[in-house]
Amino acid sequence: MMKKDLLIIGSTNIDLVVYSDTFPKKGETLTGTHFQQFFGGKGANQAVAAAKMGSQVTFVSCVGNDIHGESALQHLQENHIDTRFVAVDKQVPTGVAMINIGDGGDNKIIVVPGANGVLKPAHLGAVVEKMADYEYIVMQLEVPMETIAFMADVAGRYQKKLILNPAPAQPLSDQVLANCYMLTPNETEAEAICGLPVTDAQSAGKAAQQIRAKGVEVVIITLGENGVFVSCESFEGMVPCPKVTAVDTTAAGDTFTGALTAFLNEGIALENAVVLANKAASIAVTRAGAQASIPLRSEVV
């Protein structure tokens, strides 16, 4: 059977990245080492990751009528992503993320949503009419929650597999969770959903069980350099990731989720897909930038 396109709905940002030896304290001004500008946004990052792994991706987003929006759209199209459902808002600028990367690759991020904040259910009517074209839907939390809830209901109604990367961290309603096939939180995001702190495999297992009790079929909690904890009916346990020296962890989670979905969409078994997605994310953290860091399929498989 021919694999279907992936439907990814989410944010598009321009990332403004400042590198420094340490992070500034309250009221402190530091001199950074250098500055770079990248294409970002969790939705766009995941779309590019899936496309680089070989998937045909349809992307739904909203950008401003400005140079940032124009360049972001062009970049997505250069990655062979279908952007016909990306709206252009004439009133609100394209979203931006201010990213400070410190020594060792850790980051602190402030996102100004801009046009991402106006991606509402009214924008989604045309893509809902094409729902038969997709099996997997991928979303994150950098667009309005009413849009997340709307598409979760659509996924349930049309029996599509919704993969939700619940970032940035915030609570989710039982109704949204009940319509999710898979959740891919990190430790902080998992705690926001179930209320239990996650620090290791044991606590990740307890959190995953609580989340699955809400109706989520598969929970995958990313634990940074320690790998990921997978909880589903057929398997529960840690899947380690390759050991690397991190340069920039900005798009690690997005690379993981986008790559994972691409491999699942082509019929690769879950545990094998997780191993490959871990490898993709491990390569990404050794490079600077969000989408610029995402590897090609030939580097992963």
Report the catalytic residues.
254
Residue 289 is assigned to a ligand binding site: yes
Residue 254 is assigned to a ligand binding site: yes
Residue 236 is assigned to a ligand binding site: no
* CA angle 204–210–215, rounded 5-degree value: 125
Residue 272 is assigned to a ligand binding site: no
25: β partners:
none
Residue 265 is assigned to a ligand binding site: no
Show the beta-strand stretches assigned E in 65-174: 82-89, 95-101, 107-112, 134-139, 161-164
| Alpha helices, H only, 61-181 | 67-78, 125-128, 145-158, 174-178
Residue 7 is assigned to a ligand binding site: no
* Integer Cα distance of 26 and 6 in angstroms: 43
Residue 83 is assigned to a ligand binding site: no
* Integer Cα distance of 192 and 206 in angstroms: 14
Closest CA to 53 of 252, 262, 255: 262
Residue 225 is assigned to a ligand binding site: yes
Residue 5 is assigned to a ligand binding site: no
The residue to which tokens 């959740």 are assigned: 183
Residue 114 is assigned to a ligand binding site: no
List CB contacts of 189: < 8 A, sequence separation 6 or more.
166, 167, 168, 169
Q: Are 75 and 47 in contact (CB under 8 A)?
A: no
Residue 65 is assigned to a ligand binding site: no
Residue 249 is assigned to a ligand binding site: no
Residue 253 is assigned to a ligand binding site: yes
Closest CA to 277 of 255, 248, 247: 255
Binding site residues for K(+), as ranges? 248, 250, 284, 287, 289, 293
Binding site residues, as ranges? 13-15, 41-45, 142, 186, 222-227, 248, 250, 253-254, 278, 284, 287, 289, 293
Binding site residues for ATP, as ranges? 186, 222-227, 253-254, 278
Binding site residues for substrate, as ranges? 13-15, 41-45, 142, 254
